[in-house]
Structure 1
Amino acid sequence: MAEDFDQARWAKIKEDARQWWADDLGRPLIQVRLKNAHTTRCKPALPGHEFASFYPAAVPVEQIVDGWDHDLNHTMFLGDAFPHVCPNFGPGVIAAFLGATLVNGEDTVWFHSDKDTGISDLSFAFDAENPWYRRCCDLVTAATDRWQGRVQCALTDLGGNLDILSVFRPAETLIYDLYDNPADVKRLTWQAHELWWRYFEAFSALTKDVNPGYSTWAAILSEEAHYMLQCDFCYMMGPDMFDEFVKPELKASADKLVNAVYHMDGQGQLVHLDSLLDIESIKGIQWVPGAGALDVTHWYEVYRKITAAGKKIHIASNMCEHPLDILDVLLEQLGRVDHIVYHLDADVSQLTEVQGLLRKYGVM
């Protein structure tokens, strides 16, 4: 439960994370969250949603935080796991901060622009009064006020800068722009880059006095500046275009961070792996094979390449057919797992099996 996390337990979590980032821990980070624990608490007034945008604007942010608190106190945190919330308004919410329309789907969020603006006339600017930006700030403030550092409040899912641009120049249009208007694509990418960092710093300022560290939706803790960088749009690009339009900005962002990780989503991004591994300031890779693909144990060549490059690896249990065995399989395939952070979600009924896993890898 979140209530169980006192200063001593947080100190242990932070120390182990610090050693893991420095390659000094000697074991993987294993974050275990067991659901359906402590079920005697009353249900919150609001239904649970992954995305905070699903709640109407009339719903007070404090009620959303109440719902998060209920979930946290029905969760058992074991190993390297810690109480964590993410004020998630959809992947790439900066597009909404810049005026795009936010659309809530059945189980996801996407963005589109209602204006058909030519790329030469397109420009991005910070708007401190944007309603989605204000709503996100208010929610972050309510969470930090409520828990005062007992719960880690993540940065919202800011998105990748070319992904943000693709909202205003829908994918097929942006592909043509790469050929026909490369200077404008680069101009807008760097505009988005500057704004991305302005939002990063603004949200970080709201939590810095109480948060244990930095985190994202992936729930990796870092006491120094950290983010899960991404560029989903590069799925549609070849290596040369990636190196021209994506890599320079990606490297610039990674260089500003201390512990940057890259979210490599889908098999179409594998053509960019060598280029990504060439960026020294990217410390790790989260490889997601994609819907319908074989689970992560079938991609050992990818993980071997990441490991050989000296990078860290993030894996979540929803990528695995057999979550309790994944580290054993990877240890056999890679020869080591001390560079892995593994996020395991399970039910409290699996407590005994999970404790065995944690003991095997020296976590308890």
Structure 2
Amino acid sequence: MNTWKENIDESKQNFLNWWDQKGIILNMWEHLQKDGKPHADISKPADARDLKQYWFDPVWRAENLNYQLSRSSFKADIMPIANTHLGPGSLAALMGAELEGGDDTIWIRHKEGIDMNLTFDETTPAWKLHMDLLNECKKRSNGNYYVGCPDLVEGLDVLASIKGTQDLLMDMIMQPEELEVQLQQVNDVYFQAFNKIYDVIQEDGEMAYCYFSIWAPGTVSKVQSDISIMISEEDYVRFVLPYIKEQCQKIDYTLYHLDGVGAQRHLDAILSIDELNAIQWTPGVGEPQGGDPCWYDLYKRILAGGKSIMANWVTLDELEPLIDNIGTDGLHINVDFKSEKDIEAALKIVDKYK
């Protein structure tokens, strides 16, 4: 694979170290435009006619991603990854939920009358959309960048999109055994879809995941349970933990997306998953972001639990204090870069610790 990223071998080693609770990764979520000439002379597609084309036209999206990546910076540990997401939790669309394109994301909408005997059906329009988008991107990538895995999501979050959050929470009380059956069905569909996606996007066994722009030398995924902020620790252990654990056991490298201050009460359960490699922290709306000193103790707790951490939306002025307080082992920092000058400044800070 001959990527547009000049220091790809160095960044791969940094990722390997980080997955193993060692070293620092300096990254950003998504990309910014590089200085100077583009990596290649790629023509810009015409502007999308509407939101439908912008999100759901595989050819247009693949051409646009190819163009954007040809002009993106891959300095530090920023990986060249085509973001093929079809909304946060597009696995739900494979089982009947609806995709709705918005101004800045795709919404996964509950639909009445879905058959709750949940199975993987390769004939659905949603699955065809996933495959068409991935194949169009792979066709254009030519080894210059990775085609990322869409943000499938899993478990209770997917069921909430399929049946509605209120009905899901009621099912925990009224029919918990049936809910457990459905959760296992979701996991079964997840692995059928994930494995087929991997077959399309893998590069010599390597793989990238769109959410948080992560890479690994095998299968890799972000796992989560955002709805866990609404449930008890006991319900988490029953309705979330077994299914997340199965994913971590079957996927080579996994990052848990811990979202919201209230979700911290489940941290001990998450840390109990031996196969989980790392935890990403999202404080939530209205809270200080990932570089704020108020989260240092949380990061230390995660590291002491044997997992690497990912801190998001860290600013340049927060970078050095974060490293000084947390240390240099198992630290993935997603910085809110605005330019390549910002990246160079951050690299000078990080280099002092190597």
Asked if TM exceeds 0.5, the reply is yes
Equivalent in the alignment of 2:16: 18
Equivalent in the alignment of 2:27: 31
- Residues in 1 aligned to 2:12 and 2:228: alpha-carbon distance in whole angstroms: 34
- Residues in 2 aligned to 1:252 and 1:43: alpha-carbon distance in whole angstroms: 42
Counterpart among 287, 303, 310 of residue 306 in structure 2: 310
SS in 2 for 1:44: coil
Report how far residue 267 of structure 1 moved. Answer: 1.1
- Residues in 2 aligned to 1:136 and 1:38: alpha-carbon distance in whole angstroms: 34
Report how far residue 221 of structure 1 moved. Answer: 1.1
Equivalent in the alignment of 2:218: 224
- Residue 333, structure 1, aligned to residue 325, structure 2: yes
- Residue 324, structure 1, aligned to residue 316, structure 2: yes
> What amino acid maps onto 1:55 in structure 2?
Y
Counterpart among 188, 197, 201 of residue 207 in structure 1: 201
Equivalent in the alignment of 1:178: 172
Decide whether the 8 Å contact of 1:229 with 1:260 is kept in 2: yes
Decide whether the 8 Å contact of 1:144 with 1:210 is kept in 2: no
Equivalent in the alignment of 1:64: 61
Decide whether the 8 Å contact of 1:35 with 1:75 is kept in 2: yes
Decide whether the 8 Å contact of 1:102 with 1:110 is kept in 2: yes
Q: 1:256–1:357: structure 2 CA closer, same or farther, 3 Å change rule?
A: same
Equivalent in the alignment of 2:54: 55
- Deviation readout 1:257-301 (Å, 9 max, x if unpaired): 221110011112111011111111111111100011122322222
Q: How does 1:1-364 map to 2 (within 5 A)?
A: 4-5=4-5, 9-23=7-21, 27-31=23-27, 33-35=31-33, 37-38=35-36, 43-46=44-47, 55=54, 57=56, 59=57, 61-116=58-113, 122-209=116-203, 212-296=206-290, 297=292, 298-317=294-313, 320=314, 323-334=315-326, 336-344=327-335, 345-350=337-342, 352-362=344-354
SS in 1 for 2:183: helix
> What amino acid maps onto 2:308 in structure 1?
K
- Residues in 2 aligned to 1:110 and 1:352: alpha-carbon distance in whole angstroms: 36
SS in 2 for 1:87: coil
Report how far residue 23 of structure 1 moved. Answer: 4.1
- The unaligned stretches of length 5 or more in structure 2 are none
Q: 1:123–1:53: structure 2 CA closer, same or farther, 3 Å change rule?
A: farther
SS in 2 for 1:261: strand
- Residues in 1 aligned to 2:347 and 2:202: alpha-carbon distance in whole angstroms: 33
Report how far residue 176 of structure 1 moved. Answer: 1.3
SS in 2 for 1:150: coil
Report how far residue 36 of structure 1 moved. Answer: 5.2
Identity of aligned residues (%): 24
User: What is the number of residues matched between the two proteins?
Assistant: 345
> What amino acid maps onto 2:54 in structure 1?
Y
- Residues in 1 aligned to 2:319 and 2:104: alpha-carbon distance in whole angstroms: 30
Report how far residue 48 of structure 1 moved. Answer: 12
Decide whether the 8 Å contact of 2:151 with 2:211 is kept in 1: yes
Decide whether the 8 Å contact of 2:206 with 2:219 is kept in 1: no
Report how far residue 107 of structure 1 moved. Answer: 2.3
- Residues in 2 aligned to 1:39 and 1:163: alpha-carbon distance in whole angstroms: 42
- Residues in 2 aligned to 1:67 and 1:142: alpha-carbon distance in whole angstroms: 11
Decide whether the 8 Å contact of 2:224 with 2:258 is kept in 1: yes
SS in 2 for 1:29: strand
> What amino acid maps onto 2:310 in structure 1?
H
Q: 1:261–1:102: structure 2 CA closer, same or farther, 3 Å change rule?
A: same
TM normalised by structure 2 equals 0.88
- Residues in 2 aligned to 1:353 and 1:181: alpha-carbon distance in whole angstroms: 55
- Deviation readout 1:302-327 (Å, 9 max, x if unpaired): 1121011111011223xx3xx11333
Decide whether the 8 Å contact of 1:54 with 1:104 is kept in 2: no
Report how far residue 240 of structure 1 moved. Answer: 0.5
SS in 2 for 1:272: helix
Report how far residue 39 of structure 1 moved. Answer: 7.2
Decide whether the 8 Å contact of 1:149 with 1:210 is kept in 2: no
SS in 1 for 2:64: helix
Q: 1:349–1:12: structure 2 CA closer, same or farther, 3 Å change rule?
A: closer
> What amino acid maps onto 1:313 in structure 2?
I
- Residues in 2 aligned to 1:226 and 1:272: alpha-carbon distance in whole angstroms: 23
